[in-house]
Structure 1
Amino acid sequence: MSDPADLLGAELAQYRASSVSGGDVVSAVVADVTASGRVNLELGNGDLLLEVACPDSYRGRAAGDWVAVRLSARPVVLWRLGPDPVTTEETTTEQIAVQAALDTQVVRAATYGTGAPAGSGWQEATEVHVRKVDGRLEVYFRVGSVADPSPGTPDVPAPRPVTISPTASGSWRGGRPDEYAASPTQGDWTGRGNRRGAWFYGAAIQNACAGKTVATMKVQFSRKTGAGVNAKRPMHLYLHDHSSPPSGQLDLDDGPEELLSLSVGATGTATLPASWRSQLASGAAKGLAVYANGSRDYAAFTGGKITITFSA
């Protein structure tokens, strides 16, 4: 029996026989959400199931979720276990609605003519002033007398979030670019020396933050399959000061920080420390890197998109 699906089915059957009574539906915890939108599951005996399909009704998938899974040659998640997510969904919907309202300028009607407007409540404007704030238009009318109190001026909204993609990425070993590892890689699997990987952004991060107050910086990564063990391994993250890939050694600055741990195929988001976002915003640091010693945390990663939110 050499077919991978048959082998997996046999292992799951053995698991059912040893730990499940009365059926083949068990509970499992989501180890990670993968780049494809599927999930990696950890069973009660510690086994890891990779790329398990989920129903469309299972929304907001996240590591740590408990789910009911049907064990078979092709395992499938049936539903999520836990509290009703309506509260979280309501909050998210309200946030989206508020942002949409800020982005939309609404005028009920716009008409014109050669005479005075018909109807009551009109006030004659002797001057019109306009300005643009965060890309949106504000209009001020100067009137001779105030017959009806003016609505208040809303607070200036914070600048919209910005997402920045890396302009380049790669790996280094032995003080020079590693042509055998195109994706950023940490550690050493073969005994030929530790790899260090990096993502580069030019001056895009500094330019996006100029004149603004940064609230958060979050970066998304995915762990490649076929590099290291399948189980979760931490990313050993560093800052670097290269605007573009160096021809010699990749220098590592502040770090390491273990902000994220991923199983193979998984995607996750890490929030950068306040000191790191300050350095990236000012241009003192230019990008992110990974480095590990030996084979234990050997892993390769893709992604590197940084989402920046602002408070002012």
Structure 2
Amino acid sequence: MIRRLSAGAFALALTFALTAALHAAGAERHHYRITARVRPLVVFWITRDGVGDAVLTRSQASDETRYSLLIGSDPERAPFHINRWGYIEEEIRGREARLTGLMTQSDEESIAQAESNIRSQSSGRHPFKVIETTADGERATSRVRVIAAPEDYTVRQLPILLDLAQRERTEGTSRVVRLPEGARPGFLAAVADAMREGSPNPITYAYYGRLYALRRTRTQRIADFQSGATAYGPAIAAEFVSTSAHDGEQTRFSITYGTAGAFAEVPLRVTYQPRWWMQVELTIDDAADALAAADGVRR
């Protein structure tokens, strides 16, 4: 009983801490709705809107920059009741950085495998992957481990799973990589700089003990980006490719981001295809998030 109470108190305190961080001076928070496209056969797609949510935060001070992304499906709304989500947080202080990643463990290559994993997890196996990284400007040290959760926690139960990850100190696999001059310590920092600098030159970043090169491949200017009845002002639609220095594997995605006013360098729409049979699109929807500021938005 005492252990349950302490865990609950810790989770509650962590919830308050996360909320307080979002309201800190200079902090921004943006909410996104998720549209999923599933391709059961090669010839056509099935589209469903509102299958999940994402929250992106960023804050900057004189000596610290922080980014976080929480993204996931809602099993009550997603096709096949899929519960897939992840969280990544990057804190950068000068040359030092700390990164935390947490996600459902899923390596499905087909819809059939996804359905099989859902059935196996309903029988009591709920694995989550935890990635922890520290960087000092010269090298990044990462460790990945898997924890077993007693329940199939959803994206709305992040504080509980963060608490579990702290208490369950399981063994893991470590990697160390040297950082070349100018390398970013994480993916979110690299994307933020790519939007800010607008250069076609690649940006090197580290993720789980590997180096990657992020490069913009195509851009298109938009005079006034609109989503529904909301106008967000001028924007750029850009396509990116991330290339692994380890094996050359490439990941492609697109981001439409604002260029002026309150939404400068803020992603407005993101499209990513993690599997050949699934495509995910994030569209900004701050109106659905009571904590998000709507300054600068015309409705």
Q: TM-score, normalised by structure 2?
A: 0.24
Structure whose CA Rg is larger = 1
Q: TM-score, normalised by structure 1?
A: 0.23
More strand as a share of residues: 2
More helix as a share of residues: 2
